[in-house]
Structure 1
Amino acid sequence: MSTLPADRRTAEEAISGLYHLAGFPPPRFHWVTSPAAAMATVPPGTRPRSWKGLDHLSKWPLPARLNELVQRLWLQLDAQVRWGHGPMDELIKTRVRTSLSRSAERSVFIPIVLAHDAGTNWSRWYNTQCVSWIAHYDALRRAAGVVFATEQSRQLELWAIAARSCGWWWPQRDICVVSDRPVTMRTEVWGGNGEVRLHAPDGPAIRYTDGFDVHAWHGIQVPSWVITDPDVQRIDRETNIEVRRCAIERIGWPSYIEQARLWLIASAPDPGNPGTELRLYDMRKDTRVLLAINGSVERDGTRRQYGLTVPGYLPDPITAAGWTYGLSAEQYSQLARRT
């Protein structure tokens, strides 16, 4: 998630080394400003037809070959790790590999999804570039003292250098397109293992020099207006429930309720969260919204206020709260504490 300028010379040397391992000569390099630019650019000296098919990267000769080499490398490294380092491997796999993989899915992968217009087939090639597996084996070397064989260590280092030096890259036989890194990357920590997700309350969460950007609210990718200019009319017109929820949270539930002139049906103490109150409002189109306070404390010590849409036939906030858990009002009232 670095926003430092790419080290182009180092990146090209590392990628050329990976080309060599795959049995190909070093390519010409074509640098672009963002993943979106990579999808729209035909590198100089290539025919447009030869640059089509980004949806099928894993079928290209270079990505397919490099994917195979990485799979083989994992088997070789795992074989060396299992001999006397099994418990440490499992700990690092959970705390490093799994955590970074989840963080990548909620942050650095999102520009790729958007650049692909979010409707294309996913590619193994992007998982191969994901830093999570590199960090896993690197942590084993640093923290557990695992000594890998020279050849495997050299391959691992080439991948690590490439990951540290540039953004995403797309290898063809004689040309490799490489993206610069973003100039903005804003995240928040969430979950128990220090995982991160995109979040920026006042601007783009990711931004590249060419203007390609991503807005996000607590890990949810949203249209820019949700962050920069949310209002009741836009929220009412929005059909995506998650986007609507994010926009309301951006305004704040009390402010939204006042601006939208929602009618309070009833309120009651929350039996599943002592000391707090449930409030049920009439919303629109046979829908009501239950305003509640999270039972779990956020990292900053506060409790998040949130709204849940519920069917319009629910008569009171206790019944509505129970409905969200698949419980009756009586069953919900007997909860020791909800989360």
Structure 2
Amino acid sequence: MTPSVSEPLKAQLQAPEPEHCPGPESEQAGKGDACDGCPNQNICSTQLPKGPDPDMHLINQRLSQIDHKILVLSGKGGVGKSTFTSMLSWALAADEDLEVGAMDLDICGPSLPRMLGAEGESVHQSNSGLSPVYVADNLGLMSISFMLPDPDSAVIWRGAKKNGLIKQFLKDVNWGEHLDYLVVDTPPGTSDEHLSVTSYMKETGIDGALIVTTPQEVALLDVRKEIDFCRKANIKILGLVENMSGFVCPNCHGESRIFKPTTGGGAQLCEDLGIPFLGSVPLDPRIGKACDSGKSFFDNYSDSPAATAILDVVDALRDQIEISVEKLTI
């Protein structure tokens, strides 16, 4: 099921595709920065047919059945982006009237299957497409982890293969007749995966991006780059959430600061850059326990201040989406 270059074309290539290759069958073949100095550049730029991507119609058809599409971004790894994605998915799915999908595009480090209790599952293909794994009656999940022969297998792919998998997920996954929310977990940074998912989804519209950070300046340095990426890619920033803003003791429920916000943290950053601040989420060790066991944190630890804070962030996020929808309809 992994994407590949067609056999006739592969026979013509003089060397393996370089890192960040736009794809030998792409409209940008032979034109991108990664093409400079590549032995295949002349072949790609002169001998391949160019034209509209025929898969875009299929992608648009699939995504048209989804009301809201949210990208979860972070500038730096280790800030709890995938953890927050899993809790956002659980929180949305707690409303039984909503149909929710989670897509794990962190291709080299897929962790949502473990966090959502679907590790070891596999996807099935039929005439209607790839079937996601359902971790609840109204919460489906798609991840490359379901396609790996071994959970410890490393995914060592260049850009073209990553882009092909993202396209396959967007055009082939059958979420059913209707989906209220699709939450897309992306890898840290601003790389191939981000460029691909935004370009493939642009025609059907992305509601916006939720950016996750921690309070310290080292994390905020990279978040500023992520915000700049969103603005250059014309992706609305729904808001920023400050994760691990403090530590909640599971016994006394007292809270103390772990990562000191030396420059004002996420709230100050939002004020400086004019983006919505959705709230702060304290660190509760039981969040890690819930993710490791694939259980909903809210079901098991609803009394935690972290659970209350996350639900407040989700409410604020949905408010931002509704505001965006109202502006479009006016």
TM-score interval, smaller chain: under 0.3
| TM-score when normalising by structure 2 | 0.26
Which structure has more RCO (C-alpha within 8 Å, separation ≥ 6)? 2
Q: Between Structure 1 and Structure 2, which shows a larger proportion of helix residues?
A: 1
**Structure number, greater radius of gyration:** 1
| TM-score when normalising by structure 1 | 0.26
